[in-house]
Structure 1
Amino acid sequence: MAYIDLGVDEKTLPGITGLMRFRPETAKPLSELADVLLRGPHSLPAAERELIAAYVSGLNDCGFCSLSHAASAVAQYAAADVTDGAEIVARVRADLDSAPIPAKLKALLRIAGAVNRSGHAVTPELVEAARLAGATDVELHDTVLIAAAFGMFNRYVDGLATFAPEAAEDYVPAAQRILVHGYGIPRPS
């Protein structure tokens, strides 16, 4: 049970969705930021940006965000006709070094992991490795911002002890909704 009365059934609106319903004034800019970072036009596919969010959330031990963005990454991979998206997501979350992903994404995920520890942990060597793998300035910028934003989102969700389903399949319907409609304020069921 959340530390505050959200005025909703937490099992219907778990994690950040209940928090956004509780405080629509803050939900609007947070949802807009998530849409821009994870779904907006970009040189990185949406699946890879969702994977960055899932990866950072896993490092932060935020079950809700880790599982929800993993499900969204899988949904985005499927929408892009990538048949092994679920395996890619699982392998990245289990062991980044052995994951079957492009060198550029691996370098960006290492930067995201560094941001998660501290902004100062992002070194010139990490940035140079990402550049050598083909990362652009916008991709570097947005990777750092996704990692920083998910530090905030993760702490928001866990700091108020919101309900988080434990089964990965419980996140699939929301991932499908996000695939179609984006990150809006959740509507009543």
Structure 2
Amino acid sequence: MCRVGFVDDDFDEFGNYKKRLARRGIDLHFVDNCLSLHDILDWVLNNTIECLLVDHKLTAKYDFYGTKVVAFINNHLPDLPCIILTNFPGDSADDKLVMKNLIFDRNILSSDGEKFNNFCEIVKQSTEVFKNRLNLHLDEYAVLLEKKTNQEITAEEEETFLHLFKILKSYGEVDDVASELLKPDINRKMDNLLKKLDHYIDLNKE
């Protein structure tokens, strides 16, 4: 089953949504214990979410709307598909933070027939696209890891390497690497310099 997160300020209908979507191969998880956008991002990574459903009006629990959640998540995880659910699709579209084709009437979760089936297929297809993009990032990560190991990596590539490691590690695509490789080159050079300085001081003490 594909793993899908659900950001909402109301838990009342979640149980019904979870049961209905489970019959279509979608494992729905409620985003809880989160207060900020960064909390939601961490929750997504910690729960290996492959698609995120977000209610538009979150003001009963959060200080922001769903469209801002999507914009923030897409800024940090550009490949993660995010879908807005709302009783007023026009309001979400007016924010101009989410594409119209990713905004759905919230009632679709309670509907029957073709509309509900099509929505489920869109969600499942979105998770497949996300998984395929992770595989592409895995190839890029392997190239950067070799460069990092050989100390041939540029500053820009190193930033990409660390970002990809965090994402791929969260989704279980890569194993832990030596902590030395996760340090930016400037930190490693500073550590080496400090070691040499300590050694020099020790020699002078003798």
TM-score (norm 2): 0.26
**Richer in strand (by share):** 2
**Richer in helix (by share):** 1
Q: Rg: which structure is higher?
A: 2
